[in-house]
Amino acid sequence: MEEPARREIRRCELEADRRVADRLADLETWLERCRKLLAPAVDPEQERRARRLAERILADTTREDFSWRGDLRLVVGYVGERLRASAALRVIAASLLLHLLGLPLLAWVGWLRPEEGGPRILVEPPRRSPFATYEEPARVVTDPEQERLELARRAALAERRYVQNSLRWSRWRLAHEPPTAVAPAGDETPAEAVLRERLAALSGARGMADPATLRPAPDASPAHLALWSELWLDRYLVDGGDEAELDAALGRLCSDPHRLGRLGISALARAEAFGQLTSEQARALRRAREGIAPGDPRAALLLRQDSARRAAPLGEDWVGFLEVEGSGSVSRAWLRALRAP
Backbone angles phi, psi at 29, to 5 degrees: -65, -40
pLDDT of residue 268: 92
Domain around 260? 163-339
Does residue 113 surpass a pLDDT of 80? Answer: no
Residues 36 and 169 in one domain: no
Checking 131-138 for CB contacts under 8 A at 24+ apart, the result is 131/165, 131/168, 131/169, 131/307, 131/308, 132/161, 132/164, 132/165, 132/168, 134/161
Per-residue pLDDT tens for 317-326? Answer: 888 888 888 8
Residue 60 CA to residue 188 CA, distance in Å, equals 114
Residue 215 is assigned to a structural domain of this protein: yes
- What is the count of structural domains for the chain? 2
Backbone angles phi, psi at 66, to 5 degrees: -90, 5
Contact of 138 with 280, CB cutoff 8 Å: no
Per-residue pLDDT tens for 172-199? Answer: 888 887 777 777 667 788 888 888 888 8
Our measurement of the distance from residue 93's CA atom to the centroid of its chain's CA atoms, rounded to an integer in Å, reads: 45
CA distances from 242 to 234, 285, 300 (A): 11, 22, 26
Amino acid 285 reads L
Residue 282 CA to residue 257 CA, distance in Å, equals 12
Residue 1 is assigned to a structural domain of this protein: yes
The more confidently predicted of residues 78 and 217 is 217
Residue 273 is assigned to a structural domain of this protein: yes
Amino acid 123 reads V
Mean pLDDT across the chain: 79
Residue 192 is assigned to a structural domain of this protein: yes
Helices (H), 132-221: 144-176, 190-202
Nearest residue to 228 (alpha-carbon basis) of 261, 188, 262, 267? 267
Phi/psi-derived region of residue 261, left when phi > 0, alpha when psi is between -120 and 50, beta in every other case: left
Does residue 245 surpass a pLDDT of 80? Answer: yes
What percent of the chain has a predicted confidence (pLDDT) above 70?
81
Residue 184 is assigned to a structural domain of this protein: yes
Residue 264 CA to residue 278 CA, distance in Å, equals 16
Amino acid 152 reads A
Residue 115 is assigned to a structural domain of this protein: no
Residue 312 is assigned to a structural domain of this protein: yes
CA distances from 207 to 35, 183, 201, 315 (A): 116, 16, 6, 21
pLDDT of residue 270: 92
Does residue 39 surpass a pLDDT of 70? Answer: no
pLDDT of residue 218: 86
For the chain, the farthest-separated pair of C-alpha atoms sits apart, in whole angstroms, at: 143
pLDDT of residue 341: 64
Helix (H) or strand (E) run with residue 243 in it: helix 243-254
Residue 73 is assigned to a structural domain of this protein: no
Q: Under DSSP, is residue 337 helix (H, G, I), strand (E, B) or coil?
A: helix
CB atoms within 10 A of CB 192: 21
Per-residue pLDDT tens for 117-159? Answer: 556 566 666 656 666 555 556 666 566 777 788 788 888 888 8
